[in-house]
Chain A
Amino acid sequence: MSSGVIDGTAVLPERISRFPFPFPSDSYRYSTNVEPALKTVVTEAGAWGGRLLDIDEHYRHELTERDAVLTRDPTRLQVLPHMRPAVWDAISTLLPIMAAEHPDAMSFDRDGNACRWQNTLQDLDLEFTLGDDGSLPVEPLRFLGSQIQDDIALLDQREGALWLDAGLVTFAADWSFGFDVGMKFLEVHGPVPRVHQEQIITRAQQFLLRLQPGEKYRRANWTMTVDRRLDTSTETYPQWARDRATVAGDPALPDRLHLRVEVQHLIRLPHSGAVLFLVRTHLLSLSDIARVPAWRERLGRVLAELPEDMAEYKGISRYRSAASAWLLGT
């Protein structure tokens, strides 16, 4: 399945050919960039987006990493009591999809509430009962998070708003799920510059409020991360903040600095009516990006052109010029 354009003499590896490169043009602004899920997007290096639940070469490594984060800091997983049915709704919705999308590795069978889940990537063969927390080896949301690479957020809809009332977020891009749980969707996005004047979050919320059961949409968001660090949460900020300041002067910048793309799926769960937000994080180093000439140039221009307030919010203002200069060879 690896199909990429030729880079010199070599075929591009999957981490590049399947990377969801997010920039269609040389400048980037916020928008309510929501589109139907499952549409394959062809890029200069290959394609992405044909599946809801993407599994890649980092599958086992990332799930091990997630488990370690959760063990160190259990507040990354929270389920307010009224969200228990939504968690089970997410499990009974996602496992069959994952099995259908990866039939050679997984299978899901259901008879009433009795389920059997097999995942050969983890040598797992599990029987459990939907709605019965005790029938799973760990609490239900932690179990779901041990099967998919995506971070998971569940939004309750009430009083004309959406509330972030449950989730398992170990790979946060500079925010604190443990603090934000229980907040309204609009409040969670309070710190983002520009989007409020431009009504972007309000429009996104209107869209989500009207999402009907079974409908699946997606959007992409991006930032940059030093090294392949998935856990860039506010909680661990003191551990990774210094890298932001030092990477600009590091000769290893092209290998250390990564474009971080979140492919977010938005799904209205059928029975609970909760909105499921899946956030799948992809990291690709500048060195790898540079192997696709069109990407090299476009990312370089986007970084150079990005307004300062947006660069500041994304946390890239200390090194974006260095990154842009390297990409554009200036």
Chain B
Amino acid sequence: MCPIAMAPAAGTGPEAGFRGVIRVSFGTAAVPAAEGSAGMAGHDVRFDAADREALASLIAVLEQARVGVRLILAGPPADVAAAAAAAAACGLLEEEVTLLANESGRRLVFCAHCRTANTTVQGVGSEVDCEGCATTLAFSGHFSRRIGGYLGFAAHAEEAA
């Protein structure tokens, strides 16, 4: 189910029934103007980060749109992933969404042991200390689109205390 949408700020959404390209950027990322918009109407939205408010506003835009719409998301991996999860919950298919995540930038690492969502700028394959349970977490490429993050698990649990 699509999460309940908050009303978008006046004047921010495209017209009702929009079937063009919605280009969303987070932080300083920019969506290349030509990306995916061959002959389609475009609508640009910029947010500082994919926080609750930004996601609610994105959902409100999507609720107004109609099948035929395409979505382009650009920015740090964590923000792009969070927005992609919201779009999927609104019923968008993978083939309707283009993800342009920065190589670097913040990522979400989900602690398997205490379920805290940690933010890190470390790359895949490194370690991060969990803010919830202080366990040092290893995270590899195991990624959930629904959660928008990587699975983190105790990195040194088998070693002697």
Contact = CB atoms under 8 A, between A and B. Distances in A.
Nearest to A176: B112
A150 B115 CA distance: 25
A191 interface: yes
A115 B154 CA distance: 46
Contacts, number: 55
Contact of B113 (A181, A190, A237, A318): A237
A75 interface: yes
B30 to A, nearest CB: 30
A65 interface: no
B143 to A, nearest CB: 8
Contact of B154 (A75, A238, A245, A318): A238
B147 interface: yes
Interface stretch (B11-19, B67-75, B134-142): B134-142
Contact of A237 (B147, B154, B159): B154
Contacts of A178: 112
Interface string B94-120: 100000000000000010110100000
A244 B146 CA distance: 32
A234 B157 contact: no
A244 B159 CA distance: 9
B144 A180 contact: yes
A244 B158 CA distance: 7
A260 B27 CA distance: 49
B157 A237 contact: yes
A241 B154 CA distance: 9
Contacts of B26: none
B107 to A, nearest CB: 15
Contacts of A182: 144-147
The B interface is mostly helix, strand or loop, or mixed, namely loop
Interface residues of A, number: 23
Contact of B112 (A159, A181, A191, A234): A234
Interface in A105-135: none
Interface in A199-246: 234-238, 241-242, 244-245
A234 B146 contact: no
A81 interface: yes
B151 A179 contact: yes
Contacts of A159: 93-94
Interface in B58-106: 93-94
B146 A181 contact: yes
Contacts of A183: 144-146
Contacts of A191: 140-142
B154 A179 contact: no
Given A183-B146, A238-B135, A75 B115 contact: yes
Contacts of B112: 176, 178-179, 234-235, 237
Interface string A151-184: 0000000010000000000000000101111110
B4 interface: no
B158 to A, nearest CB: 5
Nearest to A165: B146
Interface in A231-270: 234-238, 241-242, 244-245
A222 to B, nearest CB: 20
Given A176-B151, A180-B144, A235 B157 contact: no
20 contacts: A159-B94, A176-B151, A178-B112, A179-B110, A179-B112, A181-B146, A182-B145, A183-B144, A187-B143, A190-B141, A191-B141, A234-B112, A234-B153, A235-B113, A237-B154, A237-B157, A238-B154, A241-B157, A245-B159, A245-B160
Interface of B: 1, 93-94, 110, 112-113, 115, 135, 140-147, 151, 153-154, 157-161
Given A176-B151, A181-B146, A190-B142, 18 more contacts: A159-B94, A176-B112, A176-B153, A179-B144, A182-B147, A183-B144, A183-B146, A190-B141, A191-B141, A234-B151, A235-B113, A237-B153, A237-B154, A238-B135, A238-B154, A241-B154, A242-B161, A318-B158
